[in-house]
Protein backbone atom coordinates (compact mmCIF):
# COMPACT_ATOMS: atom_id res chain seq x y z
CA UNK A 1 0.00 0.00 0.00
CA UNK A 2 2.84 2.34 0.84
CA UNK A 3 4.23 1.89 -2.68
CA UNK A 4 0.91 3.04 -4.09
CA UNK A 5 0.78 6.07 -1.80
CA UNK A 6 4.38 7.00 -2.63
CA UNK A 7 3.75 6.81 -6.35
CA UNK A 8 0.58 8.88 -6.01
CA UNK A 9 2.48 11.54 -4.07
CA UNK A 10 5.17 11.64 -6.79
CA UNK A 11 2.62 12.07 -9.57
CA UNK A 12 0.89 14.84 -7.59
CA UNK A 13 4.19 16.54 -6.86
CA UNK A 14 5.49 16.55 -10.43
CA UNK A 15 2.17 17.87 -11.73
CA UNK A 16 1.32 14.82 -13.85
CA UNK A 17 -2.01 14.66 -12.12
CA UNK A 18 -4.12 17.24 -10.33
CA UNK A 19 -5.81 14.78 -7.99
CA UNK A 20 -5.97 11.17 -6.99
CA UNK A 21 -9.06 9.01 -7.11
CA UNK A 22 -8.73 6.21 -4.57
CA UNK A 23 -10.20 4.70 -1.43
CA UNK A 24 -10.45 6.62 1.86
CA UNK A 25 -10.42 4.93 5.26
CA UNK A 26 -14.01 4.60 6.35
CA UNK A 27 -15.65 4.85 9.74
CA UNK A 28 -15.67 1.08 10.05
CA UNK A 29 -12.68 -1.20 9.33
CA UNK A 30 -14.42 -2.84 6.42
CA UNK A 31 -15.94 0.03 4.53
CA UNK A 32 -13.43 2.25 2.77
CA UNK A 33 -15.04 4.87 0.55
CA UNK A 34 -14.20 6.09 -2.95
CA UNK A 35 -12.67 9.53 -2.65
CA UNK A 36 -10.54 12.23 -4.25
CA UNK A 37 -7.19 13.17 -2.63
CA UNK A 38 -5.48 16.39 -3.50
CA UNK A 39 -2.58 16.56 -1.05
CA UNK A 40 0.26 14.34 0.05
CA UNK A 41 -0.79 14.69 3.67
CA UNK A 42 -4.31 13.52 2.96
CA UNK A 43 -2.98 10.51 1.05
CA UNK A 44 -0.54 9.58 3.81
CA UNK A 45 -3.16 9.87 6.49
CA UNK A 46 -6.38 8.62 4.91
CA UNK A 47 -5.63 6.53 1.80
CA UNK A 48 -6.26 2.80 2.08
CA UNK A 49 -5.97 -0.12 -0.29
CA UNK A 50 -6.83 -3.54 1.08
CA UNK A 51 -9.14 -6.50 0.62
CA UNK A 52 -12.19 -4.39 1.39
CA UNK A 53 -11.57 -1.93 -1.47
CA UNK A 54 -14.04 -3.66 -3.75
CA UNK A 55 -15.47 -0.37 -5.01
CA UNK A 56 -14.95 0.04 -8.77
CA UNK A 57 -13.69 3.60 -9.34
CA UNK A 58 -14.29 3.65 -13.12
CA UNK A 59 -17.64 5.38 -12.96
CA UNK A 60 -16.28 8.28 -10.90
CA UNK A 61 -14.11 9.15 -13.87
CA UNK A 62 -17.20 10.34 -15.76
CA UNK A 63 -17.18 13.38 -13.48
CA UNK A 64 -13.38 13.18 -13.18
CA UNK A 65 -13.11 13.65 -16.94
CA UNK A 66 -14.80 17.04 -16.65
CA UNK A 67 -12.36 18.37 -14.06
CA UNK A 68 -9.33 20.49 -14.84
CA UNK A 69 -6.18 18.44 -15.38
CA UNK A 70 -5.57 14.74 -15.14
CA UNK A 71 -6.84 12.46 -12.42
CA UNK A 72 -4.85 9.53 -11.13
CA UNK A 73 -7.22 6.61 -10.84
CA UNK A 74 -6.52 3.21 -9.33
CA UNK A 75 -8.15 0.32 -11.12
CA UNK A 76 -8.15 -3.33 -10.21
CA UNK A 77 -8.01 -5.80 -13.11
CA UNK A 78 -11.79 -6.26 -13.26
CA UNK A 79 -12.41 -2.49 -12.94
CA UNK A 80 -10.48 -1.90 -16.16
CA UNK A 81 -13.24 -3.63 -18.15
CA UNK A 82 -15.72 -1.02 -16.94
CA UNK A 83 -13.30 1.76 -17.80
CA UNK A 84 -12.87 0.44 -21.34
CA UNK A 85 -16.62 0.18 -21.76
CA UNK A 86 -16.99 3.80 -20.63
CA UNK A 87 -14.38 4.90 -23.14
CA UNK A 88 -16.27 3.02 -25.85
CA UNK A 89 -19.42 4.92 -24.93
CA UNK A 90 -17.62 8.26 -24.88
CA UNK A 91 -18.45 8.69 -21.21
CA UNK A 92 -14.91 9.09 -19.92
CA UNK A 93 -11.95 10.84 -21.48
CA UNK A 94 -8.91 8.58 -21.67
CA UNK A 95 -6.67 11.63 -21.88
CA UNK A 96 -7.94 12.90 -18.55
CA UNK A 97 -7.05 9.71 -16.69
CA UNK A 98 -3.72 8.46 -15.45
CA UNK A 99 -4.42 4.81 -14.71
CA UNK A 100 -2.46 2.79 -12.22
CA UNK A 101 -3.44 -0.85 -12.37
CA UNK A 102 -3.28 -2.10 -8.81
CA UNK A 103 -2.83 -5.71 -7.79
CA UNK A 104 -5.80 -7.68 -6.50
CA UNK A 105 -5.97 -10.99 -4.71
CA UNK A 106 -9.72 -11.13 -4.36
CA UNK A 107 -11.94 -8.66 -2.52
CA UNK A 108 -13.82 -9.34 0.67
CA UNK A 109 -17.46 -9.29 1.61
CA UNK A 110 -18.08 -8.46 5.24
CA UNK A 111 -21.51 -10.04 4.98
CA UNK A 112 -19.82 -13.38 4.39
CA UNK A 113 -17.81 -12.93 7.56
CA UNK A 114 -20.92 -12.01 9.51
CA UNK A 115 -22.74 -14.97 8.00
CA UNK A 116 -20.27 -17.22 9.76
CA UNK A 117 -21.70 -16.05 13.08
CA UNK A 118 -19.04 -13.44 13.78
CA UNK A 119 -20.46 -10.40 15.56
CA UNK A 120 -19.12 -7.23 17.13
CA UNK A 121 -16.29 -6.72 14.66
CA UNK A 122 -13.67 -4.26 15.92
CA UNK A 123 -10.93 -4.77 13.38
CA UNK A 124 -9.83 -7.23 10.73
CA UNK A 125 -6.24 -8.07 9.93
CA UNK A 126 -4.96 -10.09 7.03
CA UNK A 127 -6.93 -8.08 4.49
CA UNK A 128 -3.80 -6.22 3.36
CA UNK A 129 -2.97 -7.14 -0.22
CA UNK A 130 0.61 -8.07 0.67
CA UNK A 131 1.47 -11.72 1.32
CA UNK A 132 -0.55 -14.75 0.38
CA UNK A 133 -3.83 -13.61 1.86
CA UNK A 134 -4.98 -16.92 3.23
CA UNK A 135 -6.43 -16.20 6.64
CA UNK A 136 -8.25 -13.25 8.13
CA UNK A 137 -8.06 -12.54 11.81
CA UNK A 138 -11.18 -10.80 13.06
CA UNK A 139 -10.85 -8.97 16.35
CA UNK A 140 -14.31 -8.82 17.92
CA UNK A 141 -15.92 -7.81 21.17
CA UNK A 142 -15.92 -11.49 21.96
CA UNK A 143 -12.29 -12.16 21.16
CA UNK A 144 -10.30 -13.05 18.03
CA UNK A 145 -11.79 -15.25 15.36
CA UNK A 146 -10.19 -16.55 12.15
CA UNK A 147 -11.80 -16.90 8.76
CA UNK A 148 -10.28 -18.36 5.59
CA UNK A 149 -9.73 -15.47 3.15
CA UNK A 150 -11.38 -17.48 0.41
CA UNK A 151 -14.54 -18.02 2.44
CA UNK A 152 -14.94 -14.27 2.85
CA UNK A 153 -14.48 -13.32 -0.80
CA UNK A 154 -17.12 -11.54 -2.84
CA UNK A 155 -19.11 -13.76 -5.20
CA UNK A 156 -17.57 -12.02 -8.20
CA UNK A 157 -14.05 -12.99 -7.12
CA UNK A 158 -14.96 -16.67 -7.31
CA UNK A 159 -15.61 -16.09 -11.00
CA UNK A 160 -12.58 -13.78 -11.40
CA UNK A 161 -11.98 -12.47 -14.92
CA UNK A 162 -8.21 -12.86 -14.49
CA UNK A 163 -5.26 -10.90 -13.24
CA UNK A 164 -4.57 -8.81 -16.34
CA UNK A 165 -5.37 -5.12 -16.49
CA UNK A 166 -7.07 -4.34 -19.80
CA UNK A 167 -5.97 -0.71 -19.74
CA UNK A 168 -3.34 1.11 -17.65
CA UNK A 169 -0.50 3.56 -17.71
CA UNK A 170 1.49 1.66 -15.12
CA UNK A 171 0.96 -1.28 -12.80
CA UNK A 172 1.76 -1.69 -9.11
CA UNK A 173 1.47 -4.89 -7.16
CA UNK A 174 0.76 -8.53 -7.81
CA UNK A 175 -2.60 -9.98 -8.75
CA UNK A 176 -4.02 -13.42 -8.32
CA UNK A 177 -6.65 -15.20 -10.40
CA UNK A 178 -9.11 -16.32 -7.74
CA UNK A 179 -11.56 -18.12 -10.02
CA UNK A 180 -12.77 -21.34 -8.49
CA UNK A 181 -16.42 -21.50 -9.61
CA UNK A 182 -18.42 -21.73 -12.84
CA UNK A 183 -19.65 -18.28 -13.81
CA UNK A 184 -22.98 -19.49 -15.14
CA UNK A 185 -23.76 -22.27 -12.64
CA UNK A 186 -26.32 -20.16 -10.76
CA UNK A 187 -27.95 -18.95 -13.96
CA UNK A 188 -28.25 -22.51 -15.20
CA UNK A 189 -29.94 -23.50 -11.99
CA UNK A 190 -32.57 -20.80 -12.51
CA UNK A 191 -32.94 -21.66 -16.18
CA UNK A 192 -33.75 -25.23 -15.20
CA UNK A 193 -36.61 -24.10 -12.95
CA UNK A 194 -40.23 -24.39 -14.01
CA UNK A 195 -41.85 -21.03 -14.83
CA UNK A 196 -43.75 -20.98 -11.52
CA UNK A 197 -40.57 -21.74 -9.57
CA UNK A 198 -38.71 -19.04 -11.43
CA UNK A 199 -41.46 -16.56 -10.70
CA UNK A 200 -41.48 -17.51 -7.05
CA UNK A 201 -37.70 -17.20 -6.89
CA UNK A 202 -37.65 -13.70 -8.34
CA UNK A 203 -40.69 -12.70 -6.34
CA UNK A 204 -38.85 -13.74 -3.20
CA UNK A 205 -35.61 -12.00 -4.10
CA UNK A 206 -36.99 -8.82 -5.63
CA UNK A 207 -39.62 -8.25 -2.98
CA UNK A 208 -36.71 -7.44 -0.68
CA UNK A 209 -35.94 -4.38 -2.81
CA UNK A 210 -36.40 -1.06 -1.03
CA UNK A 211 -35.66 1.03 -4.14
CA UNK A 212 -32.66 2.70 -2.54
CA UNK A 213 -31.15 2.90 -6.07
CA UNK A 214 -27.73 1.81 -4.79
CA UNK A 215 -27.39 -0.78 -7.58
CA UNK A 216 -28.13 1.82 -10.21
CA UNK A 217 -26.00 4.51 -8.68
CA UNK A 218 -22.94 2.29 -8.42
CA UNK A 219 -23.32 0.58 -11.79
CA UNK A 220 -20.74 1.81 -14.31
CA UNK A 221 -23.13 0.94 -17.16
CA UNK A 222 -25.92 3.00 -15.55
CA UNK A 223 -24.19 6.18 -16.50
CA UNK A 224 -26.98 8.13 -18.17
CA UNK A 225 -26.99 11.85 -17.52
CA UNK A 226 -30.59 11.47 -16.54
CA UNK A 227 -31.90 8.06 -15.63
CA UNK A 228 -35.27 7.19 -17.16
CA UNK A 229 -36.49 6.45 -13.64
CA UNK A 230 -35.65 9.99 -12.55
CA UNK A 231 -37.00 11.76 -15.58
CA UNK A 232 -40.42 13.31 -15.83
CA UNK A 233 -40.27 12.90 -19.59
CA UNK A 234 -41.21 9.25 -19.38
CA UNK A 235 -43.87 7.28 -17.67
CA UNK A 236 -41.27 4.83 -16.44
CA UNK A 237 -40.71 6.68 -13.19
CA UNK A 238 -44.04 5.45 -11.93
CA UNK A 239 -43.15 1.97 -13.08
CA UNK A 240 -40.73 1.80 -10.21
CA UNK A 241 -43.14 2.02 -7.35
CA UNK A 242 -42.55 -0.54 -4.68
CA UNK A 243 -45.54 -2.74 -5.24
CA UNK A 244 -45.11 -6.41 -5.95
CA UNK A 245 -45.17 -6.07 -9.71
CA UNK A 246 -43.48 -2.79 -10.36
CA UNK A 247 -40.43 -3.36 -8.23
CA UNK A 248 -39.58 -6.17 -10.64
CA UNK A 249 -40.10 -3.78 -13.51
CA UNK A 250 -37.31 -1.56 -12.23
CA UNK A 251 -34.77 -4.37 -12.12
CA UNK A 252 -35.87 -5.91 -15.40
CA UNK A 253 -35.74 -2.57 -17.22
CA UNK A 254 -32.33 -1.91 -15.70
CA UNK A 255 -31.04 -5.32 -16.83
CA UNK A 256 -32.25 -4.60 -20.36
CA UNK A 257 -30.64 -1.19 -20.37
CA UNK A 258 -27.23 -2.57 -19.43
CA UNK A 259 -27.48 -5.72 -21.58
CA UNK A 260 -24.48 -6.09 -23.83
CA UNK A 261 -22.65 -3.35 -21.93
CA UNK A 262 -22.49 -4.91 -18.47
CA UNK A 263 -18.98 -6.19 -17.76
CA UNK A 264 -20.25 -8.34 -14.88
CA UNK A 265 -18.28 -6.27 -12.38
CA UNK A 266 -20.69 -7.36 -9.67
CA UNK A 267 -20.98 -3.94 -8.02
CA UNK A 268 -24.80 -4.14 -8.04
CA UNK A 269 -24.83 -7.17 -5.79
CA UNK A 270 -21.94 -5.90 -3.68
CA UNK A 271 -23.75 -2.72 -2.68
CA UNK A 272 -27.28 -4.08 -2.34
CA UNK A 273 -28.20 -3.58 1.31
CA UNK A 274 -30.81 -6.30 0.98
CA UNK A 275 -28.45 -8.90 -0.45
CA UNK A 276 -30.41 -9.42 -3.67
CA UNK A 277 -28.28 -11.35 -6.20
CA UNK A 278 -28.87 -8.70 -8.87
CA UNK A 279 -25.87 -9.78 -10.92
CA UNK A 280 -27.80 -12.90 -11.96
CA UNK A 281 -30.05 -10.85 -14.25
CA UNK A 282 -27.06 -9.41 -16.03
CA UNK A 283 -25.30 -12.72 -16.15
CA UNK A 284 -28.32 -14.33 -17.81
CA UNK A 285 -28.04 -11.73 -20.58
CA UNK A 286 -24.31 -12.36 -20.83
CA UNK A 287 -24.90 -16.10 -21.10
CA UNK A 288 -27.50 -15.59 -23.82
CA UNK A 289 -25.25 -13.21 -25.73
CA UNK A 290 -22.40 -15.72 -25.54
CA UNK A 291 -24.66 -18.45 -26.83
CA UNK A 292 -26.23 -16.38 -29.60
CA UNK A 293 -23.23 -14.48 -30.86
CA UNK A 294 -20.16 -16.22 -29.48
CA UNK A 295 -18.21 -15.45 -26.33
CA UNK A 296 -18.12 -11.75 -25.64
CA UNK A 297 -16.70 -9.84 -22.72
CA UNK A 298 -17.84 -6.22 -22.56
CA UNK A 299 -14.93 -3.91 -21.89
CA UNK A 300 -12.21 -6.32 -23.05
CA UNK A 301 -11.32 -3.49 -25.41
CA UNK A 302 -12.42 0.09 -25.94
CA UNK A 303 -13.11 0.00 -29.68
CA UNK A 304 -15.17 -2.96 -30.89
CA UNK A 305 -18.94 -2.71 -31.26
CA UNK A 306 -20.79 -5.00 -28.90
CA UNK A 307 -22.78 -7.88 -30.36
CA UNK A 308 -26.08 -6.14 -29.58
CA UNK A 309 -25.08 -2.99 -31.41
CA UNK A 310 -23.55 -4.56 -34.47
CA UNK A 311 -24.87 -6.74 -37.21
CA UNK A 312 -23.27 -9.52 -39.20
CA UNK A 313 -24.84 -11.75 -41.78
CA UNK A 314 -23.85 -14.71 -39.64
CA UNK A 315 -25.92 -13.55 -36.67
CA UNK A 316 -28.37 -16.07 -35.34
CA UNK A 317 -31.96 -14.98 -35.38
CA UNK A 318 -33.37 -15.99 -32.01
CA UNK A 319 -36.74 -14.61 -33.00
CA UNK A 320 -36.95 -16.85 -36.03
CA UNK A 321 -35.07 -19.95 -35.04
CA UNK A 322 -35.28 -19.72 -31.25
CA UNK A 323 -31.93 -21.28 -31.80
CA UNK A 324 -28.63 -21.01 -30.12
CA UNK A 325 -25.39 -21.05 -31.95
- Report the interface residues with another protein, using CB under 8 A: 66, 88-91, 223-228, 231, 233-236, 257-258, 261, 305-306, 308-311, 313, 320
Taking the least distance from each CB to another protein, the nearer of 125 and 238 is 238
**Please, what is the minimum distance in Å from the beta carbon of residue 193 to another protein?**
26
> Edge-to-edge, what's the strand order for the sheet holding 170-172?
33-37, 19-24, 71-75, 97-102, 170-172
Taking the least distance from each CB to another protein, the nearer of 32 and 307 is 307
**Please, what is the minimum distance in Å from the beta carbon of residue 296 to another protein?**
14
Taking the least distance from each CB to another protein, the nearer of 189 and 226 is 226
Distance CA 291, CA 184 (A): 12
**Please, what is the minimum distance in Å from the beta carbon of residue 224 to another protein?**
4
Taking the least distance from each CB to another protein, the nearer of 19 and 88 is 88
Taking the least distance from each CB to another protein, the nearer of 124 and 219 is 219
**Please, what is the minimum distance in Å from the beta carbon of residue 188 to another protein?**
28
**Please, what is the minimum distance in Å from the beta carbon of residue 256 to another protein?**
9
Amino acid sequence: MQEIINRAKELLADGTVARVLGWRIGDLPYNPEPSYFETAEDLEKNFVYDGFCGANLSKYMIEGSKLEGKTLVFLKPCDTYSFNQLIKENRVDREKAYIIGVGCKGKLDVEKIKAQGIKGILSISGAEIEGDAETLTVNTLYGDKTVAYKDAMLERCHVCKGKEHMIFDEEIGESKDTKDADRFAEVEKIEAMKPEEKFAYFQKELSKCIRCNACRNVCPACSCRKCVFDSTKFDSAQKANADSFEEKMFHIIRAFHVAGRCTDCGECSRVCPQGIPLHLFNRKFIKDIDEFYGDYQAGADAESKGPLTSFTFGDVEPGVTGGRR
